[in-house]
Chain A
Amino acid sequence: MADGVKPRVKVPKTASAGEKIVIKTLISHKMESGQRKDGDGNLIPRSIINRFTCDFNGENVVDVVLEPAISTNPYLEFEAVVPESGEFKFTWYDDDGSVYEETKEIAVE
């Protein structure tokens, strides 16, 4: 697991059924592009988050392929609808095989 990786997610605590809600996510990650060289002129190997998914109660909201052109500390914002109360699951996939997960409950009123 890369050092200091910490996911952050912003989801409203409540919503009405079918309402459009904005979700913001950010994960602290270097996103080493594989294009940079170190002080000795050697290429620093690529090490990025290459995929992000958001699901709600097992159904997909968005599935994103990330490339090295995504900035350090990848930020993603998108919109979801929730048919009922339940749990969002956010997953980030690292090049090194690590998987970072975060969940958020939302109540439909």
Chain B
Amino acid sequence: MQLTRRDAILMGVGATFMTALPLHVSAAGEDAIAAFTGGADVGQGDIKLTAPEIAENGNTVPIEVSSETATEIMVLALGNPTPAVATFKYGPLSASRTASTRIRLAGTQDVVAIAKLEDGSFVQATSTVKVTIGGCGG
């Protein structure tokens, strides 16, 4: 994708906002995280979230989560009316702690994956997905 000067300015403005404001988590998002972690601290580490930088349509956005040692991974879309997306629990016959699915995003926002690791600790990864509004009823 080629950027115009205008796009670049807009993205610059967006980036300024992003750095100026901490990750905005709604009350519902906080509740969902607390229910999953039991209030434990959430660090960085063994969790990867792959999502497109720009989604062509917010109705169907492919994402993938992966970890080496997660027992459970919860995915949240913090800008959705209800932030919960899915929770994956891995059983004894899972070959890897990965999963792919397709999700709905109500607009440009942060998608978060929080993993509960085998040692009981929690880690998270965040990815900002820009949701485009097309010109032709897209």
Note whether A and B contact each other (Cβ less than 8 A).
Answer: yes
Binding site for B on A (CB under 8 A): 20-21, 33, 35, 55-56, 59-72, 74-83
Number of interface residues of B (CB under 8 A): 29
Q: How far is the CA of A47 from the CA of B87 in the complex (A)?
A: 18
A33: chain B residues within 8 A (beta carbon): 104
Give Cα distance in the complex from A75 to B96, angstroms.
18
A77, B80: Cβ atoms under 8 Å? no
Tell me if B's interface is mostly helix, strand, loop or mixed: strand
| A and B contact pairs by CB, cutoff 8 A, 17 listed | A33-B104, A59-B93, A61-B90, A62-B90, A62-B94, A65-B86, A65-B89, A66-B86, A68-B82, A68-B104, A69-B85, A70-B86, A74-B101, A77-B101, A78-B100, A81-B94, A83-B93
How far apart sit A56 and B84, CA to CA, in the bound complex (Å)? 28
Query: In the complex, what residues of A have CB within 8 A of residue B95's CB?
Result: 20-21, 79-81
- Please determine whether A56 and B103 come into contact, CB atoms closer than 8 angstroms: no
Q: Encode contact with A along B96-108: 1 for CB under 8 Å, 0 otherwise.
A: 1011111111000
The reply to whether B100 and A65 contact each other, CB–CB distance below 8 Å, is: no
Q: Are B102 and A70 in contact (CB under 8 A)?
A: yes
Within 8 A of A (CB), among B29-44: none
Which of A62, A71, A79 meets B60, CB within 8 Å?
A71
**CB-defined contacts of B94 to chain A, threshold 8 Å:** 61-62, 78-81
Contact check, A65 vs B92: say whether CB atoms are below 8 A apart.
Answer: no
Let me know if B81 and A35 touch, CB within 8 A.
yes
- Beyond contacts A62-B99, A69-B103: 4 other A-B pairs, Cβ-Cβ < 8 A, are A61-B94, A62-B90, A64-B89, A70-B102
Given A77-B99, A78-B98, A79-B95, verify A70-B59 contact (CB < 8 Å): no
B106 to chain A, nearest CB (A): 8
